[in-house]
């Protein structure tokens, strides 16, 4: 835990890895997140006013959450303390709050706040409410799931975006031009592709991989130059970055392979990646949440029971925890991987939302509008509506779409037995209206 009176460090510690040596010392050196810290960015406006609210920084690994917290503290010249949710307990939180009572404007940074238990977050709540500390939390997980509502209601959530290709290649060029250790060897980058692909948008991983390559690669005997090629990067990365790191290094690669294996109906590959995550100490609730999403997105109405099993899996994992949850997760993974697949509902809601964003909200037809007052009834609200249960088979043919969208279809049933029956019902009800 950093001292309450420590400002963010201006210089990296001796022997620090490249990512730490290149950590920006001012906001002008910070790469990316211009929607937050650019001239019109909301955080820039707060800093210009000399204060920031309690906030949660949410984004993938290596996009600058921790760095941004340090830079904001430096900009405001306020007392600063940092805790890591991995090794800080309730006592640490209370000690910081007690010290902060004698210092105005303390910024409390909590890295990986999603790993804080409810009791740890509860210990923070009063100090945040009373303004004893201004909380800055950093998380790679959706705060809606991992941060208690009481803190969420008192903190702004800001999403940090992945770094662009130009941002990442610029970091490589800057490292080679400015870092004292790297400048000792002439380096030529023949291709950035493998560096960017393996690092997956994680600036910290990118820079540390670059350092491994430059330090390990043989130099040209005649010129002394190290040439960075895709083949060289791939070879050295396999030797040095093979370990699963739940904190970010392979986290997104493995969960991506896991989801794609289930989507691709390969239970064996899916079980392998599940084992990799569990052996690496991944939070089983994180895995169960992803299975919940997949059950709807990729299995959908081809097997509606998939969502029920995924929900039961999440509840069971939450109650039981590890190590026994591996059995439950394994059962769910095999079930989802071997289920028929359909993304028809996923595509339908995406198309509908895209249309609303593009065209705005169309007027609701008069016959569907609520009519709680006499005036609304006089205006015709609800008068032409037919109660579906009064019709044969609980169906009455009528218009539900706004006039401008009459006949517009969003849902196209998938090619599987369950949705084939749904398509038959839709065709019997609507005839040619929606083209079923």
pLDDT at position 334, please? 95
DSSP 401: S
End-to-end C-alpha distance for the chain, whole angstroms: 63
pLDDT at position 39, please? 80
Distance between alpha carbon 235 and the CA centroid of its chain, in Å?
A: 29
pLDDT at position 304, please? 94
pLDDT at position 315, please? 94
Per-residue pLDDT of the chain (436 residues; tens, 9 = 90+): 444 444 444 555 556 778 778 888 888 778 888 888 888 888 888 888 888 888 888 887 778 888 888 888 888 887 888 877 777 777 777 787 877 777 777 788 888 888 777 777 877 787 787 778 888 888 887 787 778 888 888 888 888 887 888 888 888 888 888 877 777 778 778 788 888 877 777 788 888 888 888 777 777 777 777 777 778 787 777 655 445 555 554 667 788 889 999 999 999 999 999 998 888 778 899 899 999 999 999 999 999 999 999 999 999 999 988 888 999 999 999 999 999 999 999 999 989 988 888 888 888 887 777 766 766 666 666 677 888 888 898 888 888 888 888 889 999 998 999 999 999 999 999 999 998 8
Q: Which of 199, 241, 178 is nearest to 62 (CA)?
A: 199
Count of other CB atoms within 10 angstroms of residue 216: 13
pTM, two decimals, is 0.54
DSSP 243: S
Q: How far apart are CA 118 and CA 134, in angstroms?
A: 19
Where are the alpha helices (H) located in 241-324, listed in sequence order?
A: 251-263, 267-279, 284-294, 305-320
Cα angle 323-329-334, degrees, rounded to a multiple of 5: 140
In the chain, the domains with their CATH numbers are 18-159 (3.40.50.300), 165-240 (1.10.8.60), 251-338 (1.20.272.10), 353-430 (1.10.3710)
Length of the chain as a residue count = 436
3-state secondary structure of 59: coil
pLDDT at position 329, please? 96
pLDDT at position 64, please? 83
HEC sequence for 168-205: HHHHHHHHHHHCCCHHHCCEEECCCHHHHHHHCCCHHH
């Amino acid at each position: 835990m950093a001292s309450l009176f420590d400002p963010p460090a201006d210089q990296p510690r001796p022997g620090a890895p490249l990512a730490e040596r290149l950590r920006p010392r001012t906001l002008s050196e910070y790469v990316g997140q211009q929607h937050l810290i650019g001239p019109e960015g909301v955080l820039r406006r707060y800093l210009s006013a000399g204060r920031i609210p309690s906030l949660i920084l949410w984004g993938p690994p290596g996009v600058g959450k921790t760095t941004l917290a340090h830079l904001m503290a430096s900009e405001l010249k306020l007392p600063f303390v940092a805790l890591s949710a991995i090794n800080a307990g309730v006592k640490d939180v209370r000690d910081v709050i007690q010290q902060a009572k004698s210092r105005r404007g303390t910024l409390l940074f909590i890295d990986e706040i999603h790993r804080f238990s409810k009791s740890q977050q509860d210990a923070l709540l009063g100090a945040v409410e009373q303004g004893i500390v201004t909380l800055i939390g950093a998380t790679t997980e959706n705060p809606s799931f991992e941060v208690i509502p009481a803190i969420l209601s008192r903190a702004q959530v800001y999403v940090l975006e992945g770094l662009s290709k130009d941002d990442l290649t610029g970091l490589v060029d800057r490292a080679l031009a400015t870092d004292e250790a790297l400048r000792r060897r002439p380096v030529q980058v023949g291709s950035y592709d493998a560096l960017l692909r393996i690092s997956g948008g994680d600036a910290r991983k990118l820079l540390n991989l670059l350092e491994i390559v430059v330090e390990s690669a043989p130099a040209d005997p005649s010129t002394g130059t190290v040439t960075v090629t895709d083949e060289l990067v791939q070879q050295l990365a396999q030797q040095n970055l093979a370990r699963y790191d739940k904190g970010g290094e392979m986290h997104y690669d493995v969960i991506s392979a896991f989801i794609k294996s289930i989507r691709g109906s390969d239970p064996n590959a899916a079980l392998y990646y599940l084992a990799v995550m569990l052996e690496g100490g991944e939070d089983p609730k994180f895995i169960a949440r992803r299975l919940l999403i997949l059950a709807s997105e990729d299995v959908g109405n081809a097997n509606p029971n998939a969502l029920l099993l995924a929900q039961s899996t999440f509840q069971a994992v939450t109650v039981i925890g590890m190590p026994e949850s591996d059995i439950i997760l394994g059962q769910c993974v095999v079930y989802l991987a071997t289920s028929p697949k359909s993304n028809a509902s996923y595509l339908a809601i995406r198309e509908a939302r895209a249309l609303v964003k593009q065209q705005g909200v169309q007027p609701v037809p008069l016959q569907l509008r609520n009519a709680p007052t006499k005036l609304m009834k006089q205006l015709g609200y609800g008068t032409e509506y037919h109660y579906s249960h009064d019709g044969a088979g609980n169906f009455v043919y009528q218009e539900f779409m706004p006039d401008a969208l009459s006949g517009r279809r969003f849902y196209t049933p998938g090619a599987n037995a369950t949705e084939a029956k749904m398509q038959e019902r839709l065709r019997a009800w609507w005839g040619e209206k929606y083209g079923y």
